[in-house]
């Protein structure tokens, strides 16, 4: 994308695919490196493995070179990048699965022997130490090489992360155990500890990789909406051509029931087009000569001959795809607690271990005793429990959420949900059912029952949503046949029923625009159709998309938690105001398009608040991705579900409050787990430094910290949703 600034210079925004990042420290360091370069302004996203860089008079090759110097690789994103990345990630994931299985096979004998060491023969039940060395070494340096690589990159960048802790703790355990084995010292060995840590942390990395592999599915869902081919007029003939072959100015045909291939302008023909996936408006929009049509929208009953105005990256659909990509690539305001702590923890532990070794060697003059005490410090500081503190709670919490109909895609979003202060809601299909229904029949020259019967008879062969609403309302009535039926796209229909010439359509078309009830119905957010015969108006039929039965109570429950609720919709202001009032929402934004929804979410975020978004349509995908926490209603589109962080399977807004409760319970367990992980370190490190804690006891304490963390996480299984409570905020677990 090119832009011109005030000075006339050209700037370029380029998106790069980044390979080699393993943790948050990597993305943070790379972002700092790029932003230090002249003419570059970068935003690096670890989950998407993307860097979006604004270049001022700098070529893309300079970015690639700077990334390479930082220890990573980059390539500009093009049409084929996504497929290449997908294939490469699948290949790497299969390789990592194989390595994990090998690690499990090598580690199980080492861990299994511990069960027999407390038997009658004690230490004699352990495996031969040379065999333990042979089993542990491949796990340490082959399977665990990724941790050394990640640790080196973090240290080179001036920081420390979990990779540093894993590499340091397991290396010291392996090195000490190897020295004991080689020199035949009468000391305990810790091969099983290092191997188990690497295997468990590798499992967490695999789970993380599996989640990251799905970050691009929202965009892919949008891409799949656009037709692959189009019927194009060339030299007086209609040809079936790939959509990629269309150029601006080409004439194409959209037949009834087909999707529009590209953006265009109607040349001739009349029809109604379902644009809900773009605007959120549930009612189809009438199209005739001069009107615009958009790629991937669904044509109704008529044929449209159109001239292409936007193709390729210039379509509105492509713009939505770009918005989703930009939102997903934006930087999250959350930093991992464990990484922040480890940045201080690692150097402190190293200093304490070194001081312990030097102090004991100087005071006691015994190298072996000094080494044992120093290793005890490092073993008690092993990061196994720290590494398990967050993922075990997240795994149990998300499992409980799934049982309650809350599907969590993004663990960071689950952590942030507890802090939500503003909740933006889509209207159509989220607050409402997404299904137009007849709400009133106001009789004029006949009774309401007869009017509904005649109107349903006219509409019984139509697939228009308004027609389906009328027919559904008269489902229990036998409908007469229709003769001389005729459709007037965008206006209504006409036909002969029971010997009467009838018309059904918009009030203005049938001369009922001044009916005194019309304004009130429209102010209530209802669409009105009129039934008339040759003598005049017979009845007014009001149709509306009804509020979900649980929406009002759910909104009240959220507001009771102190959450500010804002409704975002593409509907007209009258409809928006009516639905907002019914739902008990005081603040709303009406008449907004997909880009405006994302902008509205970003505007709410500008106040330094945690903003969540709830939606169900494709048009909500950019806003869902832009929000700190995105909720998708389960009946929504695949693209909305893929872009969201959490999916509410049961189509119930109470699920949002339940998810916030789940977040609070899970965050509580994470904090408790971190306490358990560190209490052993805080109390154990001084004891080890004073020679009061030998490495065997240190190893047992480390194991106990892990058991405490896992056991505490399992207590989350007691969490249950408080669905249906509407009289206040749910208490935290």
Model-level pTM greater than 0.95? Answer: no
pLDDT value for 82: 65
Q: Can you give the pLDDT at residue 733?
A: 33
Residue 437 and residue 468 in contact, taking contact as beta carbons nearer than 8 Å? no
CA–CA separation, 526 and 575 (whole Å): 7
The CA distances from residue 695 to 172, 188, 243, 369, 698, in Å, are: 12, 8, 68, 11, 5
Q: What is the DSSP letter of 48?
A: T
Q: What is the pLDDT at residue 142?
A: 93
Contact of 18 with 30, CB cutoff 8 Å: yes
pLDDT of residue 307: 94
Q: Within 13 A of 678's CA, how many CA atoms are on the CB side?
A: 13
What is the mean pLDDT of each successive set of 10 residues along the chain, which is 733 residues long? 44 81 67 88 73 86 88 78 71 84 90 60 68 93 86 68 68 84 81 76 62 47 74 88 87 90 92 70 77 87 90 73 50 44 69 87 78 71 63 73 70 80 84 82 88 90 75 86 81 86 88 83 81 90 84 91 87 74 89 76 81 78 83 61 68 86 86 77 81 62 67 82 48 34
Provide the annotated active-site residues: 426
- The token pair at 646 is 């959490």
Burial (0-12, 13-18, 19+ Cβ within 10 Å), 87:
exposed
Q: Which two tokens stand for residue 109?
A: 């004998």
In what helix (H) or strand (E) does residue 181 lie, and over which residues does it extend? helix 162-183
Give helix 162-183 / helix 145-156 axis angle, nearest 10°.
120
Q: Are 129 and 179 in contact (CB under 8 A)?
A: no
Whole-number pLDDT of residue 304: 92
Q: What is the pLDDT of residue 165?
A: 60
The torsion angles phi and psi of 542, rounded to 5 degrees, stand at: -95, 130
Concatenated DSSP letters for 207-235?
Answer: HHHHHHTTTTHHHHHHHTTS-SEEEEEET
Question: Residue holding tokens 């027609």?
Answer: 467
φ, ψ at 402 (rounded to 5°): -60, -40
Please tell me the distance from the alpha carbon of residue 453 to that of residue 448, in angstroms, as a whole number.
Answer: 9
């Amino acid at each position: 994308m090119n832009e011109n600034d005030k000075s006339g210079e050209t700037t370029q925004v380029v998106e790069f695919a980044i390979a080699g990042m393993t943790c948050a420290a990597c993305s943070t360091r790379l972002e700092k490196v790029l932003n230090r370069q002249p003419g570059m302004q970068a935003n690096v996203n670890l989950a998407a493995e993307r860097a979006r860089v604004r270049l001022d008079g700098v070529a893309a090759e300079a970015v690639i070179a700077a990334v390479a110097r930082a220890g990573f690789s980059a390539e500009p994103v093009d049409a084929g990048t996504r497929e290449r990345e997908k294939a490469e990630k699948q290949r790497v994931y299969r390789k990592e699965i194989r390595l994990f299985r090998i690690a499990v096979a090598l580690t199980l004998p080492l861990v299994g022997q511990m069960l027999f060491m407390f038997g009658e023969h004690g230490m004699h039940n352990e495996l031969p130490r040379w065999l333990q060395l042979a089993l542990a070494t491949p796990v340490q340096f082959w399977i665990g090489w990724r941790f050394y690589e990640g640790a080196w990159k973090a240290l080179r960048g001036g920081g420390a992360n979990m990779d540093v802790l894993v590499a340091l703790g397991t290396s010291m355990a392996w090195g000490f155990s190897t020295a004991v084995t080689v020199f035949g010292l009468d000391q305990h060995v810790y091969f099983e500890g290092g191997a188990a840590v690497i295997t468990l942390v590798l499992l967490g990395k695999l789970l993380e990789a599996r989640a990251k592999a799905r970050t691009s599915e929202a965009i892919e869902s949008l891409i799949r909406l656009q037709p692959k081919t189009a019927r194009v007029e060339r030299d007086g003939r209609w040809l079936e051509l790939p959509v990629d072959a269309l150029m601006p100015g080409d004439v194409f045909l959209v037949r009834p029931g087909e999707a529009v291939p590209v953006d265009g302008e109607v040349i001739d023909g009349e029809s109604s087009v379902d644009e809900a996936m773009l605007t959120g408006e549930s009612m189809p929009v009438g199209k005739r000569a001069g009107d615009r049509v958009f790629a991937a929208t669904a044509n109704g009953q008529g044929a449209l001959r159109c001239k292409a105005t936007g193709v390729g990256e210039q379509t509105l659909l492509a713009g939505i795809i770009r918005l989703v990509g930009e939102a997903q690539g934006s930087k999250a305001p959350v930093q991992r607690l464990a990484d922040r702590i480890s940045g201080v923890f690692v150097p402190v532990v190293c200093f304490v271990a070194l001081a312990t070794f030097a102090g004991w060697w100087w005071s006691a003059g015994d190298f072996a005793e000094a080494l044992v005490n120093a290793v005890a410090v490092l073993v008690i500081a092993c990061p196994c429990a720290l590494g398990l503190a967050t993922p075990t709670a997240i795994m149990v919490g998300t499992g409980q959420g799934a049982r309650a109909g809350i599907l969590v895609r993004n663990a960071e979003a689950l952590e942030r949900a507890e802090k939500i202060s503003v909740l933006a809601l889509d209207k159509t299909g989220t607050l409402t059912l997404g299904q137009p229904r007849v709400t009133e029949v106001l009789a004029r020259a006949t009774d309401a029952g007869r009017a509904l019967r005649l109107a349903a008879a006219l509409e019984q062969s139509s697939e228009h949503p308004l027609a389906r609403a009328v027919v559904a309302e008269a489902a229990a009535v036998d409908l007469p046949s229709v003769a001389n039926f005729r459709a007037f796209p965008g206006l209504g229909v006409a036909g002969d029923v029971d010997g009467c010439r009838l018309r059904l359509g918009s009030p203005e078309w049938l001369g009922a625009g001044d009916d005194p009830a019309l304004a009130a119905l429209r102010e209530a957010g209802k669409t009105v159709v009129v039934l008339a015969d040759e003598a005049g108006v017979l009845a007014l039929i009001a149709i509306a998309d009804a509020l979900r039965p649980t929406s009002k109570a759910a909104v009240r429950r959220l507001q009771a938690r102190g959450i500010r609720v804002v409704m975002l919709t593409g509907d007209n202001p009258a409809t928006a105001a009516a639905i907002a009032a019914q739902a008990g929402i005081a603040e709303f934004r009406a008449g907004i398009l997909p880009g405006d929804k994302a902008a509205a979410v970003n505007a709410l975020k500008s106040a330094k608040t945690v903003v969540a978004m709830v939606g169900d349509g494709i048009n909500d995908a950019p806003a869902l991705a832009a929000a700190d926490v995105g909720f998708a209603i389960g009946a929504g589109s695949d693209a909305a579900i893929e872009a969201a962080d959490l999916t509410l399977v049961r189509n119930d807004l109470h699920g949002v409050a339940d998810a916030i409760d789940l977040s609070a319970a899970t965050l509580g367990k994470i904090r408790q787990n971190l306490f358990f992980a560190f209490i052993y370190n805080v109390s154990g490190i001084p004891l080890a430094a004073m020679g009061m804690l030998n490495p065997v006891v240190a190893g047992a304490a480390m194991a106990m910290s892990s058991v405490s963390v896992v056991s505490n996480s399992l207590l989350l299984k007691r969490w249950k949703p408080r669905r249906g409570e509407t009289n206040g905020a749910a208490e935290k677990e």
